[in-house]
Amino acid sequence: MPPSWGLTLRSTGPVGTYFDLRSASARRVRLPPTLGGSLGTRRYNLPMPELSRFLGIVIAMYYREHGPAHFHAIYGDFEATVEIETGWVNGSLPRRALAHVHEWRQLHRQELLDAWSAARASQPLPRIEPLE
């Protein structure tokens, strides 16, 4: 079970990644077999680096993510993935937070595509200016 100090389970593989919404850091923990872990399975560390943070919204992107190009927007207990090219949203955010995310996405579209390419190549991701 996820720890009770505000961390939420992001991955149910052999090693679960817990994402701390307060500090935007990832912790790697070994899951027991009852939660999807296996003692003989290879371990992977899949952090979700933060690209930007503004108005209580954390924008992050996983390494080794599948297409289409997208980023994760986290606001309190809400999370959504947003496609960089189209703005299509999977998940939910409050209306006002979603409007801020879309405005930010339009301002930083090319930087987001560059970050997506860097993530696919397992390179460090750049920080992107927050919405002001």
| pTM of the entire predicted model | 0.65
Q: In this predicted model, what pLDDT tens digit does every residue of 17-75 receive, in sequence order?
A: 334 443 444 444 443 333 333 333 333 344 679 999 999 999 999 887 788 999 999 99
Q: Is 103 in contact with 114 (CB distance < 8 Å)? A: no
Which amino acid does the sequence have at 72?
Answer: H
- Decide if 80 is inside a domain: yes
**Backbone phi and psi for residue 96, each to the nearest 5 degrees, phi listed first:** -65, -45
Proportion of the chain above pLDDT 90, given as a percent: 55
- Decide if 130 is inside a domain: no
Domain with 22, as residue range(s), is 1-36
Looking at the structure of the chain, the number of domains it has is 2
Q: For residues 19 and 58, state if they share a domain.
A: no
Q: How many CB atoms lie within 10 A of CB 60?
A: 20
Handedness of CA 55, 71, 26, 4 (dihedral sign): positive
Q: For residues 54 and 111, state if they share a domain.
A: yes
- Decide if 41 is inside a domain: no
Q: For residues 22 and 70, state if they share a domain.
A: no
Is residue 79 over pLDDT 90?
Answer: yes
